[in-house]
Amino acid sequence: MSAPHRVVVAVFPDVDLLDVTGPAEVFAVANREMSGGTPYQVLLAGPDGGQVHTSAGVRLATDLSFDQVGERVDTLVVPGAVDGRGRPVIDPALVGWIAETARHAGRVASVCVGAHLLAAAGLLSGRTATTHWATADRLAADHPDVTVDPDPIYVRSGNVWTGAGITACMDLALALVAEDHGERLALAVARHLVMYLKRPGGQSQFSVPLWLAPGERRDIGELRSWITTNLAADLSAAALAERMCLSERHFARVFRKETGVTPAAYVEAARVEAARRLLEGTDEPLGQVAAACGLGSVETLHRAFRRRLGTTPAAYRRRFRTAA
């Protein structure tokens, strides 16, 4: 029997607990679900061995110290940690160990703000990467040699994988299982964990309401709420400006200042978000979905999905259909 696939998860003080336990559970369920093949051996490695206090206050018992890891690492998983102000914690000693261990690891995967540690170790230079949306701007500013995409659930660049925020760690782990053992096992694991049946990495890590933080103007906030409940209405810039009792040009300036996007971009994103929910939870024909969301025609629905999600409505439905 071949040696198990050795997954080493780095743990350190104040590490995010779910970043560690989420992937570990996916690999554990994969071991139970597989028939044949190489099982996973998940090992927690810490600075000195012993116990590590996580951000949740729960203590984790490590299996070995960083010095004991050795050269046989099939997958290195690097979770993250943030300080009291929400800034990624970058420990130079940890970064040095990651850089050294990655040299002989089969692949490296960061979870959430762990991407900042990979970047500090020089592992993301010249690559595209993602991280938690709340720290994406900081990652881009601190490491201009990294192409940061804040939207996907996970990104693969060669043998380096980066995952988005919090629960996306399990989607990333599912993708690793799929690479090792195929889609059938990954889907079995997803079903067991009551997860989406394997979300593709390109799916957005947040929906429209989360994507844009509240602005200063209450009237624009109320308009945004009205838009999401009236998607089939005339939501042109002219109609919205009239509703706000502003000139179209002034309205466009105010809306962009408050949201960072044009009215047209916001409306399309809201309509695509609604279409996604209908595709996930109903059997309505594409024409009815397009009409209900204000996109008008199947052709417009296709264009919007291609532009925003990089897929077609039919392909999206096949992946994410959740209703019985």
Q: Which residues are known to be catalytic?
A: 112
Structural tokens at position 236: 């042109």
Please report, for residues 87, 96, 115, the alpha-carbon distance to residue 128 in angstroms, rounded to integers and kept in the order given.
21, 21, 11
Containing H/E element for 258?
Answer: helix 248-259
Residue 318 contacts by C-beta under 8 Å, 6 or more apart in sequence?
none
> How many CA atoms are closer than 13 Å to the CA of 238, on its beta-carbon side?
1
The CA distance from 281 to 320, in Å, is: 8
Both tokens of 304, joined, read: 């919007």
* C-beta neighbour count of 74 within 10 angstroms: 17
Helix (H, G, I), strand (E, B), or coil: what is residue 100?
helix
Q: Exposure pattern of 80-103 as b/e (b: 16+ CB <10 Å)? A: bbbeeeeebbbeeebbebbeebbe
